[in-house]
Amino acid sequence: MTALEPPLGEPALIDQALVDAIEPLPGRSARVLRGLRRFSTSPLNLIALVLVSLVVFVAVFGSFFAPFPPEQMALLDRLKPPSGTYLFGTDDYGRDLFSRVLSGARISLEVAGIVLSVSVVTGTVVGAVAGLFGGLVDEVLMRVTDLFLAFPALILAAAIAATLGADLSTTVLALATVYWPWYARLVRGQVLSLRERDYIVAARAVGVRTPRLIRAHLLPNVLPLIIMQASLDVGYVILATSELSFLGLGAQPPTPEWGAMLTDARAYLRDAWWYPTFPGLALAVTVLAFNLLGDALRDWLDPRLRSR
């Protein structure tokens, strides 16, 4: 028996590192399938996916299912309870609440999409430039960012909306102003941890320009964090939009926005329970769905939280 042969009666021990070196790495399709399988193991993930899909479907195709135009008034049918004609009842102007709730989904998702698009692009550019260049550039950009972060988010958004005038367009501008600094801080912190990595130093050494360095090497590593944060912020932006409308600083009548509908329903809490209930439920379910989806994406995309 040579020195390389195992003792009799004992199984041969194979070096796992040698096996890993011999076996091919899984392809992209295999990794995607494994990730989808891990994502689908949690019932909450599936519930969140179903709810978000339902909200998006209602926002896109809800107008085809609305039995009445959302702004059509019928004063003779004001404050009618839910029935076969009016599924969610009517408001104080006789408008069909079911049609208005469906239209409110589209408005909420549109506002959230625009706000987050502007915030993500602005915050990513500012954070990447600050983290990559450092020095005076970093100081100036981060002090400007800190200036926006020094105020409570809702108060700052309300002040901007009140100054520029109550309207959905000013709501978008106010919320984008509030949200972009968080993405700038997030991206800057990640870039600071990446810029000293060997492959970044090597790319700089061979003369890779800064725009290509950001696009090809930094963004792929920052993108999962941005996706996680944006998926969580969808619900918060929808909620903030409704809060501004509830305060009279967002959508104005007769726009069928959920927060504005809740503002009009305050005077009818005792006499017409359906008036605040259905817009409030739509808002609560939508925010909950996107929060659950954000948590699911965080668990899926963050390698530190993946189950092995």
Predicted local confidence at residue 34, as pLDDT: 64
In a domain, 84, yes or no: yes
Predicted local confidence at residue 232, as pLDDT: 87
H-assigned helices in 23-167:
28-39, 43-65, 97-133, 135-149, 153-164
User: Which residues fall within 8 angstroms of residue 45, CB to CB, at 6 or more apart?
Assistant: 39, 292, 293, 296, 299, 300
Number of domains in the chain: 1
In a domain, 24, yes or no: no
CATH number of the domain within which 186 lies: 1.10.3720.10
Predicted local confidence at residue 7, as pLDDT: 42
| Residue range(s) defining the domain that contains residue 298 | 42-305
User: Could you report the average pLDDT of every consecutive run of 10 residues in the chain (308 residues)?
Assistant: 43 40 48 63 83 93 91 92 94 94 94 95 92 89 93 92 90 94 92 82 79 79 87 92 91 90 90 93 93 82 54
Predicted local confidence at residue 13, as pLDDT: 40
Q: Which residue has the tokens 């599936």?
A: 46
In a domain, 161, yes or no: yes
H-assigned helices in 150-195:
153-164, 168-194
User: Which residues fall within 8 angstroms of residue 20, CB to CB, at 6 or more apart?
Assistant: none
Predicted local confidence at residue 196, as pLDDT: 79
CA distance 187 to 125: 9
**Which tokens hold the place of 206?**
């061979």
CA distance 208 to 195: 13
Contacts 24+ apart (CB under 8 A), 57-61: 58/102, 58/105, 58/106, 59/105, 59/106, 59/108, 59/109, 59/110, 60/106
Predicted local confidence at residue 306, as pLDDT: 52
